[in-house]
Amino acid sequence: MDSEQLKNRVDILRKVEVFKDTPEDILQGIAGVLKEHVVKKEEIIFRKCDVGHSMYIIGSGSVRVHVGDYVITRMGQGRVFGEYALFDKETRSASVTAEEETCLLELEQSDFTNLMASNLDMIKGVVKIVVKRIREMNELERKLAQSYIKIQKQNEEIARQNESITEQKKELEKKNVQLLQLNEEKHHLINVLAQDLRNPLTSSLCLADLLKSQTTDLSKEQVKSIEVIHKSIKRINHIINQVLDINEIESKSISLKPEVTNLLILLNEISEIYTYALAQKNIQLHLDGSDLFVKVDPIYAALIFENILSNAIKFSPDGKNIYIRLIKKEDMAVVEIIDEGPGISEDDVKKLFGKYQKQSYQSIGQDETQGIGLSIVKKYTEAMKGKIWCSSKLGKGATIGVEFKLYQPSMS
């Protein structure tokens, strides 16, 4: 080895903590026994469980100390690894791989033993780095122990939370069963009540039909009264049928019979039903539109528009107007029923179609006992793949809109 190489090695050794207090002549002695190795990037220097017999000093480059894919630490120039092998020939506790092309200076156990035999300062330096490494290991063990305790606590907390969630799930399942039972009881009760009401209504309707057919000797006022009674009973009968139908909708057993329906004709027929009610309040009904065809169940479609129109009449002041507009918007047929009533607040509009809402329409200072409500109208509409909406401001009336897809011959 020439003097320049020896000098370079001594310069490297001065940067190594183990040898920083070592005299010059001893450093030269150590430099003289070091063996130089150049390892390529990703070349393994030694593997875990290999038997060790040398300590390595990184002259240039860098390495990673790892167990499998888990990297314990990374080291650069001037760092030392494998120092335990200077004292025994136990197996390596980890693998070391070059991260880039790296120059290593190897100090073998036999050379180290010979040097230590004649130099107390070198022994102190090596012992110092070994003690430091042991302290680092102790600190690592302490941190691992703390982490383990923390993980244990987290696991216990997770176990408690899982137990709580399991209990909550059981309670929810129990309540769900109870709700299903109550729902079944509700459907049964509705059916019983509605069916029990049908018989007396049917009898009353037959009597009203009989009276209506025998009006020869009656005055005009009496005839009108019989007509009112007849229409009222029919109306109650409709409501009972609606109650039964909504019960079927909620139980998902409704049977629709879609037909190609001319909305203009349907709306004209519905308007005629309310001629007397309109006249009683001196309300003018304006129907505007042209023939538009949709494929819906005409019975349910009629119930939808009857409910909306009857609400509009109910809440319109005397002498006002109601407008029914039938318009085409792209591929949709839109029916708008517009009144000049007291209107609906923004909050009430949001819950207008809510389930079991008593206020099925304008509710400001009005009687709330008006039939089955717009929640059922919404269910009918959606059952036929339509849309329903409301636009209103307090004091400026309300518009209820119903939309169905226009019928195209190619759809059938």
Looking at every residue in the chain, the average pLDDT score rounds to 81
Query: Residue 171 in 3-state DSSP?
Result: helix
Q: Give the pLDDT mean for 138-154.
A: 85
Tell whether the model's pLDDT for residue 38 goes beyond 90: yes
Candidate from 5-19, 214-228, 231-245, 288-302 with smallest mean pLDDT? 231-245
Please state, in angstroms and rounded to a whole number, the distance separating the CA atoms of residues 266 and 298: 8
- Residues β-bridged to residue 336: 325, 401
β-pairing, 387-392 with 102-108? unpaired
pLDDT, residue 93, reads 87
Contact 389, 332 (CB under 8 A): no
Please state, in angstroms and rounded to a whole number, the distance separating the CA atoms of residues 97 and 72: 12
Could you read off the pLDDT of 359-379 as tens digits, one per residue?
Answer: 444 433 333 333 346 777 888
Q: How far apart are the first and last CA of the chain?
A: 100
Which of 179, 184, 198 shows the shortest CA–CA distance to 242?
198
Which of 129, 29, 138, 21 shows the shortest CA–CA distance to 79?
129
The better pLDDT of the pair 270, 359 is held by: 270
Query: Two tokens at 105?
Result: 């200076």
Please state, in angstroms and rounded to a whole number, the distance separating the CA atoms of residues 272 and 270: 5
Could you read off the pLDDT of 202-241 as tens digits, one per residue?
Answer: 667 667 777 777 777 788 888 888 887 877 787 777 777 6
Q: Give the pLDDT mean for 262-290.
A: 90
Contact 214, 246 (CB under 8 A): no
Please state, in angstroms and rounded to a whole number, the distance separating the CA atoms of residues 362 and 348: 8
pLDDT, residue 390, reads 93
Tell whether the model's pLDDT for residue 26 goes beyond 90: no
* Percentage of the chain lying above the pLDDT 90 cut: 28
pLDDT range class, residue 294, cuts 50, 70, 90: very high
Angle between helices 374-383 and 220-250 (to 10 degrees): 60
Contact 58, 75 (CB under 8 A): yes
